[in-house]
Amino acid sequence: MTAGKARLWTGIGCVGTMVVFASASLYISVPQMVFPTEATTASREFVAVVLFLLTTAVLLLPFDFLGGILIPAAYEPHPPETAQWIRKWLRSVVIQLLFFSVTLFFYLQIGREVGTLWLLALFFVLQLTLVAGQELIWRIMTSAQTRGTGNESTQFVQQCDSRFAGGITGLPGCESILLPDCWRNEMPPSWLSLLIKRRQAAIVSGSRFRGIVAAIVWNNAVFGAALILGGGSMESVADLVTVFHWFLLCSFLGLLTLPTLNRRAVFALDRLVADNASIAELQAAIRNVDQLTEQDPSRSTSAESVFQPIPCADRRVQQLRKLQSGKPCAWNIARTALFLSWAFGGPLARAVHCNVGRPELWALMPTD
C-alpha cells in the first residue's frame, strides 16, 4: 500500500466514523438526553458547548495519530518527531476549540434572541471573515515564518509538512500567493515561476473568485438545510448540537459532489496557463509538485472520481495534450468549502484524507 492510499483509507475511516456518530446521535436523540434542552445560564451553556467540541476532538484523535504519526513514520523519509507533532497538534486543537466554542456560543444566543434568519446572516459574515483571515489563522496555528518574497503578492513560507503546497489567501483584490520555501531549492526556477503564474492566472481569470462564491453559496445552502432538518430553531444547547449533526451530514454530500467540479477547474486552469506557456515545462512542473507533496501516482479513476478533488499528475498531463482552450471555472471549491465550514464548527474540515492528523494543513489545505 502506498502512502497516498494509506492516507485515503484513514480519511475514509475518519469521515465514516463522524457520519455514523452523527447519524446514531440523531437517531437516538443524544443531544436531548445529554445537553440542556432549555435556556440556562450563559456559563453553563458555554461549558456544554466546549465539552461537546472536546468530545469531537477525542473522537478524531485516533485518526489524527494515524495520519500524523504512524503513516509518516511508515512512508516518509523525514517523519515528524512525536513530541513535536504533539505540540503542534495541541496548539492547533486549542485554537480551533476556542474559535469554535465562541462562535457556536454566539449562534445559540443570536438564534434565541433574534431568530433563525439572522443565523444565516451570521454564517455568511463568518465565512467572509474566514476568507479574509485565512493566512493569519494559518500563521497563528503553525507559527510559520516568511522566508523572503518573490514580489509584493508572493511569499515563500517555512513549513515542515511535506504535503504543504501553499495556496492563495485573502479577499478578492487583496490576494497573497503562498509557496513552500523548500520549493526554491527543489525545483528549477523556470518551473517555480510557471507555478506562480498559474496561481496568478487563477486570480486574474476570476477562477478563485468563482470558487469562493460557489463555496459560500454551497455552505449557506447546507447550513440552511441543517437548520430546517434540526427543527428550524436554536433555543438550547441540545438544538445547537442537533443542527451541528445535521450540518455534518449535509456537508458529507459535498465531499461526494464538489470534487467533480474541483477537478474540472484544475483541468481548465492548466489549459488556460498552457495557452501562454511551454506545455512541456508545465507538465514537468505538475509532475514535480506531485512528487514533492507525495501524492499517490497510481490511484484508480473510480477512486479519484469520488474522493480526490485534485486529479493525479498523469490525468492532468493527458488533458494538457488535448490542447483544448481553458475556460475559467470555480477553482478549489471543494477544499474552500471545507475551510469555510469553520463558520459553524467545521465538522469535517480536518477529517478528510488530505489533512487528517496534519495540523499545518488544517487552515490551508493542499491545493493544485
Phi-psi region of 81 (alpha: psi -120 to 50; beta: other; left: phi over 0): beta
211 pLDDT band, cuts 50/70/90, is very high
CA dist 65 and 57 (Å) reads 12
Give per-residue pLDDT as tens, 138-165: 999 988 777 655 566 888 998 778 888 9
Q: Which stretches of the chain are DSSP H helices?
A: 3-27, 30-34, 42-65, 71-75, 82-113, 116-142, 183-186, 189-204, 207-229, 237-274, 279-292, 301-307, 313-321, 333-340
Give per-residue pLDDT as tens, 69-119: 999 888 877 788 889 899 999 999 999 999 999 999 999 999 888 888 899
Confidence (pTM): 0.94
Cell triple for 39:
435556556
Q: What is the pLDDT, as a whole number, of residue 149? A: 57
> DSSP letter at 77?
S
Is residue 366 a part of any domain in this protein?
Answer: no
Mean pLDDT of 40-65: 94
Overall number of domains in the chain? 1
Closest CA to 243 of 104, 55, 43: 104
Is residue 180 a part of any domain in this protein?
Answer: yes
Is residue 190 a part of any domain in this protein?
Answer: yes
Is residue 368 a part of any domain in this protein?
Answer: no
CA dist 30 and 26 (Å) reads 6
Place of cell 475518519: 14
DSSP result, 244-268: HHHHHHHHHHHHHHHHHHHHHHHHH
> DSSP letter at 312?
-
In this predicted structure, the answer to whether residue 48 has a pLDDT above a threshold of 90 is yes
338 pLDDT band, cuts 50/70/90, is very high
Helix (H, G, I), strand (E, B) or coil at 154: strand
Quick one: how far is CA 133 from the chain centroid?
14
DSSP result, 186-203: HS-HHHHHHHHHHHHHHH
Is residue 116 a part of any domain in this protein?
Answer: yes
Q: Is the dihedral of CA 49, 50, 56, 59 positive or negative?
A: negative
Is residue 23 a part of any domain in this protein?
Answer: yes
Max CA distance (Å), the chain? 65
Better pLDDT: 325 or 91: 91
In this predicted structure, the answer to whether residue 39 has a pLDDT above a threshold of 70 is yes
Is residue 232 a part of any domain in this protein?
Answer: yes
Q: What is the pLDDT, as a whole number, of residue 78? A: 78
Q: Which domain holds residue 167?
A: 3-361
Average pLDDT over the chain reads: 90
CA dist 182 and 333 (Å) reads 26
Give per-residue pLDDT as tens, 296-314: 666 667 777 777 899 888 8
Measured CA to CA in angstroms, residue 38 lies from 31, 106, 112, 116 at distances of 12, 16, 10, 17
Is residue 367 a part of any domain in this protein?
Answer: no
Name the β-bridge partners of 155.
149, 178
